[in-house]
Structure 1
Amino acid sequence: MGITTYIAIYFIVWWTVIFTILPFGVRSQHEDGVVEDGTEPGAPQRPLLLRKALVTTVVAAVFVGLFAWSVETGRLTLDMFPLPIKLY
């Protein structure tokens, strides 16, 4: 596979991971007891987006790295996946 394929896979994995970890560790303004005027009480108090983006970047890089290693060494091939239909 080419570098473009791995970049596309990284992009998909990155977005999947970020949406998976976004809800973890988030406390609403209502839960903290400090609701600012004009805001929704359920709005996050401190979403820690930078930390979550960094964690997502590392997790996605490790996953895609392992996937690339598996493909390049021949441990993972398309022949290992069954086709949903018969092609004959």
Structure 2
Amino acid sequence: MQPGSLFAIYSLFWMLTLFAVLPWGVRTSDEAGQARAYGEADSAPSNPMIKRKLVWTTLISAVLFGLYWANYDFGWLTIDDIPGWGRGGTR
């Protein structure tokens, strides 16, 4: 597989994982017992912990991408293994 393709697929894994990780541990100012700043949305997190979430996103997406790449190389699951999608299937 080309390096550009690998990077693009990893980037997709990373972005999807980021959106899954962003809500982890979010507490609003009201839940944290802090006063809200003027103009702050009710749902705004008091401490978003972005650096920690970026690290988790990178680790999780690396594992997922590693599984994807291993499946690509070893062929554990192919399109023929999915009922209705393989050769001779009705789609």
Q: Is the 8 A contact 2:21 2:56 kept in 1?
A: no
Distance in 1 separating the partners of 2:60 and 2:25:
17
Structure-2 separation of matches of 1:33 and 1:27: 10
In structure 2, the residue matched to 1:72 is 73
User: Deviation at 1:5?
Assistant: 1.9
> Secondary structure at the residue paired with 2:11?
helix
Q: 2:42 maps to which residue? A: 41
Greater relative contact order structure (CA < 8 Å, 6+ sep): 1
RMSD over equivalenced CA pairs, Å: 2.1
Answering whether residue 55 of structure 2 is matched by residue 54 of structure 1, we say yes
One-letter amino acid of the structure 1 residue matched with residue 38 of structure 2:
D
Work out the CA distance in 1 between the residues paired with 2:32 and 2:76: 49
Distance in 2 separating the partners of 1:21 and 1:32: 20
Kindly report structure 1 stretches of 4+ aligned residues shifted beyond 6 Å. none
Q: How many residue pairs align between the two structures? A: 86
Following superposition of structure 1 onto structure 2, how do residues 8-23 of structure 1 map, counting pairs within 5 Å? Answer: 8-23=8-23
TM-score (norm 1): 0.79
| Percentage of identical aligned residues | 34
Kept in 2: contact 1:6–1:64 (CA 8 A): no
Matches within 5 A, 1:77-88: 77-81=78-82, 82=85
Secondary structure at 1:38 match in 2: coil
